[in-house]
Amino acid sequence: MDTKTFVEKYCRWADYYEGATVLALLEKKNYDCVLWNNGCSAYGARPIQCSTYPFWSWIVQDKNTWDEIAKECPGMNKGQIWDADFIEKTKSEYEKNVPITKEEVEELCGQNL
């Protein structure tokens, strides 16, 4: 599927800092990601926001925050135990991630969206 079709089918525009408009995945009525269907249908190509979850800076800042988020995420506190180096690397990837702006998507697609 080409970029324009993907954006039109699975994405929305979201307000961001300093008046920017950025690309975001749609959510279902229950707030699940539009690409979630008993698992991620785009797992191999998921964006940084998804691939770094739940090791986001504000989630790993303290145990209370982690435990609150874990109440809503069935995968947290189960399965593989990750070492501190992996968590720190993943957190850093999340912090460096900059969402793509509407202008950048339009340039990529070669047209206004």
Looking at residue 18, its pLDDT comes to 83
Element (H, E) at 23: strand 21-25
Q: What are phi and psi of 49, to 5 degrees?
A: -55, -40
> The tokens of 108 are what?
């990529």
Of the candidates 47, 75, 36, 45, the residue with the CA atom closest to the CA atom of residue 59: 75
Amino acid at 83: D
* 38-83: pLDDT as tens digits: 888 999 988 898 999 999 999 999 999 999 999 988 889 998 999 9
Q: If DSSP codes are grouped into helix, strand and coil, which group holds residue 13? A: strand
DSSP 8-state secondary structure symbol assigned to residue 84? H
